[in-house]
């Protein structure tokens, strides 16, 4: 049983203060995009993980892999042994702010649910997903959604038109807890950071009453107004990500120069995403960004995308 699971980007990621449990309340607008990992589950004597694809460096193939933990969590819920060979074909950059590990975990849940004939309700799978990580429930859902809480509480958003994005990949990854921690440090050092950020960027929402996805972005998505969507891209983790990786600013500046409707660091970075006017512009933008020193690969993709389950070996449609 195979599942193609998309990467996610965040059009807005608004981050509240650190909570006592070590997480931050967020309000985010997730969109799944057409850059996929493929997760294949087949019966085996015991749990085994194998890897292929361009993005396997730093990915574990033992029980610590989030997809393996997903199989164990689902097996426990179903009262059976996690006896599965999981193969992860990884096209999504690792530790890139694209939730590739979460995508693999979501794919493992969907594949094993089918393989074992469990037929669990989406809400049951979502519970297991939330126990694995903040981004796993969205990876299961796909499409476009507002995420709140630590990102696990989802409200799907309907989008009238496909958006054309360029995903600009940087060398190496960034650790999500490190980037959140740097945000806390920067805010502690300069408590008026959010005010300064608002002054510096028209897209920075007013978060005085907590993290928020601005209504103007939701309206723009509903209307299919790509220019307005581009103007609303905002990520509170961009400041700490740029603090840790200053060279990313050159990628974002290049995207602007190349006519992107907007550009932003995705999640905790270091991947940047740029919104193109259309498919042809996305190809041009990707070609231009590939010439940037801080950009090791650039993919023209579309959003929203959805997970796709296929019986292993069957022809896969796009
Ligand atoms: O949920 P996940 O395991 O992906 O989170 C990894 C880490 O990222 C957390 O341990 C926490 O440090 C940070 N995080 C956070 N607030 C969130 C999501 C993640 O502080 N909403």
Q: What is the pLDDT of residue 317?
A: 46
Q: Which residues line ligand 1 (CB under 6 A)?
A: 22-24, 26, 133-135, 150-151, 176-177, 180
For the stretch 218-224, contacts whose Cβ atoms lie closer than 8 Å and that sit 24 or more positions apart, written own/partner, are 218/29, 218/146, 218/157, 221/29, 221/144, 221/157, 221/159, 221/160, 222/158, 222/159, 222/160, 223/160, 224/159, 224/160, 224/161
CA-CA distance, 6 to 318, in Å (whole number)? Answer: 12
Q: Which three-class secondary structure state does DSSP give residue 81? A: coil
pLDDT-derived band at 66, boundaries 50, 70, 90: very high
Ligand 1 centre and the CA of 176: distance in Å? 7
**What is the reported pTM?**
0.93
What's the CA-to-centroid distance between 57 and ligand 1, angstroms?
22
Q: Is the pLDDT of residue 294 over 90?
A: yes
What's the token pair of residue 284?
């041009």
Band (190; pLDDT cuts 50, 70, 90): confident
What pLDDT was estimated at residue 310?
Answer: 83
- Active site members: 8, 135
Q: Which of 134, 185, 241 to mutate to test the pocket of ligand 1 (most atoms within 8 A of CB)?
A: 134
Task: Name the residue of 28, 70, 180, 185 to mutate for ligand 1: max ligand atoms within 8 A of Cβ.
Answer: 180
Mean pLDDT of the chain: 93
CA of 312 to the centre of ligand 1 (A): 33
Q: How far apart are CA 136 and CA 178, in angstroms?
A: 19
Q: Whole-angstrom Cα distance, residue 14 to residue 29?
A: 9
Q: Which residues pair with 41 in a beta bridge?
A: 86
Q: What is the pLDDT of residues 221-251, one digit of tens each?
A: 999 999 999 999 999 999 999 999 999 999 9
pLDDT of residue 204: 67
Q: How far is the CA of 98 from the centre of ligand 1 (A)?
A: 14
- The conformation of residue 84, written as its DSSP 8-state character, comes to E
What is the mean predicted confidence (pLDDT) over 194-211?
64
């Amino acid at each position: 049983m195979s599942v193609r699971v998309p990467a996610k980007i965040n059009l807005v990621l608004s981050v509240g203060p650190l909570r006592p449990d070590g997480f931050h309340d967020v309000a985010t607008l997730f969109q799944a995009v057409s850059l996929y990992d493929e997760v294949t589950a087949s019966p085996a004597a015991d749990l085994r993980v194998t890897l292929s694809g361009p993005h396997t460096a730093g990915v574990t193939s033992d029980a610590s892999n989030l997809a393996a933990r997903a199989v164990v969590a689902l097996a426990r819920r179903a009262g059976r042994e996690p006896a599965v060979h999981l193969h992860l074909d990884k096209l999504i950059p690792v530790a890139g702010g694209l939730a590739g590990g979460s995508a693999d975990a979501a794919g493992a849940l969907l594949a094993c649910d089918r393989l074992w004939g469990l037929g669990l309700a989406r809400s049951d799978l979502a519970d297991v997903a939330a126990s694995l990580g903040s981004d796993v429930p969205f990876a299961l859902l796909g499409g476009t959604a507002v995420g709140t809480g630590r990102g696990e509480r989802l409200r799907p958003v309907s989008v009238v038109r496909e958006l054309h994005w360029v995903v600009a990949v940087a060398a190496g990854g960034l650790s999500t807890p490190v980037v959140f921690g740097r945000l806390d440090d920067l805010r502690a050092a300069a408590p008026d950071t959010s005010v300064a950020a608002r002054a510096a960027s028209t897209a920075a929402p007013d978060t005085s009453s907590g993290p928020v996805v601005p209504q103007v972005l939701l309206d723009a998505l509903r209307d299919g107004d790509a220019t307005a969507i581009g103007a609303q891209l905002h990520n509170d983790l961009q400041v700490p990500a740029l603090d840790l990786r200053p060279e990313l600013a050159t990628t974002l500046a290049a995207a602007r120069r190349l006519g992107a409707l907007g550009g932003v660091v995705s999640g905790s970075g270091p991947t940047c995403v740029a919104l193109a006017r259309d498919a042809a512009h996305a190809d041009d933008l990707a070609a231009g960004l590939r010439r940037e020193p801080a950009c090791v690969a650039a993919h023209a993709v579309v959003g929203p995308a959805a997970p796709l389950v296929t019986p292993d070996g069957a022809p896969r449609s796009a």
